[in-house]
Amino acid sequence: MLQVSVLKEQTDLVLAGLAKKHYPNAEAEVAAILDLDQRRRQLQTEHDQAQAEANELARQIGGLMKSGDKAGAETLKARTATLKQQTKTSAEELTQVEASLQQALVKLPNLPHSSVPAGRTPADNEVVAEHGPKPELPAHSLPHWELIKKYDIIDFELGNKIAGAGFPVYKGQGARLQRALINFFLDEARNAGYFEVQPPILVNEASGYGTGQLPDKDGQMYHDAQDNLYLIPTAEVPITNLYRDEIIPTEKLPIRNAGYTPCFRREAGSWGADVRGLNRLHQFDKVEIVQIAQPEQSYAILEEMRAHIESLLQKLGLPYRVLRLCGGDMSFTSALTYDLEVWSAAQGRWLEVSSASNFETYQANRLKLRYRAEGGKTQLLHTLNGSALALPRIVAALLENNQTEDGIRLPQVLHSYCGFEKIG
């Protein structure tokens, strides 16, 4: 959530940033927020002045009563009663204005970093790196949705029977490959200095609000109305919320956590090859890395996180590219996002497998996540996260890019994790 002080002191910068994210009605909404803040401060001043006057009159009333001036005391009591009604009325209006101000603030997206390219669609994203040659497949190569049937490793029909479309069942070598990738990614994160946690996969409303999924993505999350709990779309949500309402000692920064969870998303997409097979699911597995850092360190840390994710793709032998997302293609909460995509040889296109983002103070302001700077003043921290990695499209690319006449050859780094070297 953007800070009111930033909107007030850097209005032109805010409007330029919202324009880069193609946020509609920005000027009117920012003006309305500043008006609400002015009214809030006015009401607070009136409330405090009336309260202070009432307290002073109470002191004077006591003196008048002691001196026997009952008439003077009664006059002041009448004034005190008026002031009490004023403070009550102003307090009630202040509560309403603060609620309206909060509701207006949470609708504004984060501001993009200065390096974010202008643009509206994925076609406007900037390619900042590309690694590895694209494999040449043998004749009659198959896309992964045919390979999984050929080797009987993932069953969408069984998943549809049990739950519905977008919930696959992994079987035999498919299930073992899933487990192998999860363990490989977690081990690599631990070796890189991340502390492993296993968080809940259901979160409360405060957690969804804290990281910005609510209210922005309310309809895209699975919701249990009876207990008002949400199935997580990513481990970012529970892991970052571990530190909600905390003041972190500087000696513990940066915080580096990693965790595996299943992830759940209602928006599985439409028909077509872009969402076929493993390309987009309602439930999938992912290892997430999360860092919490002082502001001056956060962009160097983002580059470090990106390098870690690239190292995973290199060890898996997958050709990939790195994109810096344009303003119109970024998430609601992000200040700067790198997308990492792997090349799917059988489909002949790039598949997104990771996003690494710096949210600057946007989430921390919602979370009240702070550190104590020099001089004892608390300041907001920066939060960052990245997929390291999401499994479905990694599996799709591994199957397609490594298919041979006698089976699917897995990268050497997975052999000990899987207990086999090829599928089939």
Task: Give the strand pairing for 255-264 and 378-380.
Answer: unpaired
Question: Phi/psi at 207 (nearest 5 deg)?
Answer: -70, -45
Owner of token pair 């970093």: 113
Measured over the CA atoms of residue 388, residue 392, residue 397 and residue 402, the dihedral's sign is: positive
Strands ordered across the beta sheet of 422-423: 403-404, 407-409, 422-423
Tell me the β-bridge partners of 378: 372
Please state the residue numbers annotated as binding site for ATP: 265-267, 352-355
Closest-CA residue to 261 (of 302, 281, 291, 231) = 231
Strand ordering across the sheet containing 370-372: 247-248, 370-372, 378-380
Binding residues for L-serine: 234, 265, 288, 385
**Which positions make up the binding site?**
234, 265-267, 288, 352-355, 385
User: What ranges make up the beta strands (E) of 305-377?
Assistant: 320-324, 336-344, 349-358, 370-372
Cα 135 to Cα 401: distance, rounded to the nearest angstrom: 6
